[in-house]
Amino acid sequence: MLNRIVAHFQDGNLLRGHTVDFFPARDQFHLVLAEEGKPVEVRVADLKGLFFVRDLKGDGMRKKSNQYDPNDHGLGRKVRVIFKDGEVLQGFTQVYQPGRSGFFLVPADKHANTERCYVVVTATREVRIL
């Protein structure tokens, strides 16, 4: 399955494109760059997070929200992630366990461009179950 992704690196860089070989248990994967169509190898340890998105361009005018819909009980536990760069992301997770290298999070904002995010734990300052 072709996944549209935005790779956010811990150094602040971003790469947009597609992948078919990302697996959480692997140390690297290939990202086919959207603009060049050229594959590059990405090391998971270099990432802040891997954002699986609806659209690679996004909507720069849309205001981001971390608010939970009071009627949405989501799948899994509510979680707040504070990244080392100060970004805060809230959502639902089914698999967060301290000591693991990462976990998937579905954003609280159902209308966000991000459908789900693989959070790399070494890029976080805090992960809190709400």
Is-contact 112 125, C-beta < 8 A? no
Instruction: Label residue 71 by pLDDT band (50, 70, 90).
Output: confident
Which residue bears the tokens 């992704």? 5
Q: Report if pTM > 0.75.
A: yes
Q: Is the pLDDT of residue 103 over 70?
A: yes
Provide CATH code, domain 77-129.
Answer: 2.30.30.100
Nearest to 1 by CA among 17, 25, 21, 16: 21
Provide CATH code, domain 3-53.
Answer: 2.30.30.100
Instruction: Label residue 124 by pLDDT band (50, 70, 90).
Output: very high
Which residues in the chain belong to E strands, given as ranges? 3-9, 14-19, 28-33, 39-43, 47-53, 77-83, 88-93, 102-107, 114-120, 124-129
CATH 2.30.30.100 residue spans of the chain: 3-53, 77-129
pLDDT, position 12: 96
